Amino acid sequence: MNRNESIIKKIKGLLAIADDSKNDEESQSAFLLAQKLMIKHDIQQSDVETRDEKQEIIKGQAVAYKKLFWWERQLAGIIANNFRVKFYYHNRILNDEKRRKSSIIFFGFENDVNLAKEMYVLAYDAICKYSEKYVKNYYKEVFAIRTTAKTNELKNSYMLGFLTGLNEKFDIQVREMEQEFGLMVITPKEVSEAYNDLAKSFSGKAKPTKIPSIGEVEAYHRGRRDGEQIDYLKQTIDEDIVDFS
């Protein structure tokens, strides 16, 4: 197992708590902990090698080809902005299906793409779990008849709030990392240039994502509050956590 695989394995272990619905705070905290591990790793490697010169720029498919919902597209943008990668949509018509399906592709250096993919999948699972939990509790508390229209309104409002909170928390984390380590989490110049060259081959223009309005203000604020609670565990990362050998 190489060093990069060890890092991802460690992150997977830390994020396994996302499956434990009894501890939402720790589950959400794993997103920022993973980012800190990524930056910590980068610092350790910078003294012995230049990662950008060692690694190949690759493409990484984050999800299976499907109909992408608005929040999946928004989440991809948040992850890309915070894990040093670019992203785009790749479309294809599968087998005999008439309608085309889309997938999210991350583009960047290998370590960054692998981390972005892992984080996207884990964040995807988390937002699905938390939004479903909120909707279930809503109907239980108000004793309302469950309808498709109301459920979609609740879920969309909650997800919009959650993504807003998640993005705000990432922004705070980036500033903290810059102050603590003197590093900026930005997409490397080489990746941006390679992506611009790749974009010349794209056919057509991507349609703007239609983001739903906030139909349920309370659901939005609850989602945003949950997103803002995302934080890595308060203790300093121990040497045994960052030792991936």
Sheet holding 101-109, edge to edge: 57-61, 101-109, 86-92
User: Lowest-pLDDT range, 32-41, 97-106, 220-229?
Assistant: 32-41
CB 245 within 8 A of CB 41: no
pLDDT at 6: 65
CB 51 within 8 A of CB 42: yes
Q: What percent of the chain has pLDDT over 90?
A: 32
CB 24 within 8 A of CB 166: no
Q: Where are the domains of the chain?
A: 3-242
Short-list 110, 79, 89, 80, CA closest to 7: 110
Distance CA 33, CA 188 (A): 22
CB 122 within 8 A of CB 15: yes
Report if pTM > 0.75: no
pLDDT at 30 over 60: no
pLDDT at 197 over 60: yes
CB 27 within 8 A of CB 126: yes
| Residue for token pair 């938390």 | 130
* Structural tokens at position 122: 């884990």
**Given pLDDT bands bounded at 50, 70 and 90, which one contains residue 232?**
very low
pLDDT at 237: 26
For the chain, strand residue ranges (E) read: 57-61, 86-92, 101-109
Burial classification of residue 99, based on how many CB atoms lie within 10 Å of its CB (0-12 exposed, 13-18 middle, 19 or more buried): exposed
pLDDT at 77: 94
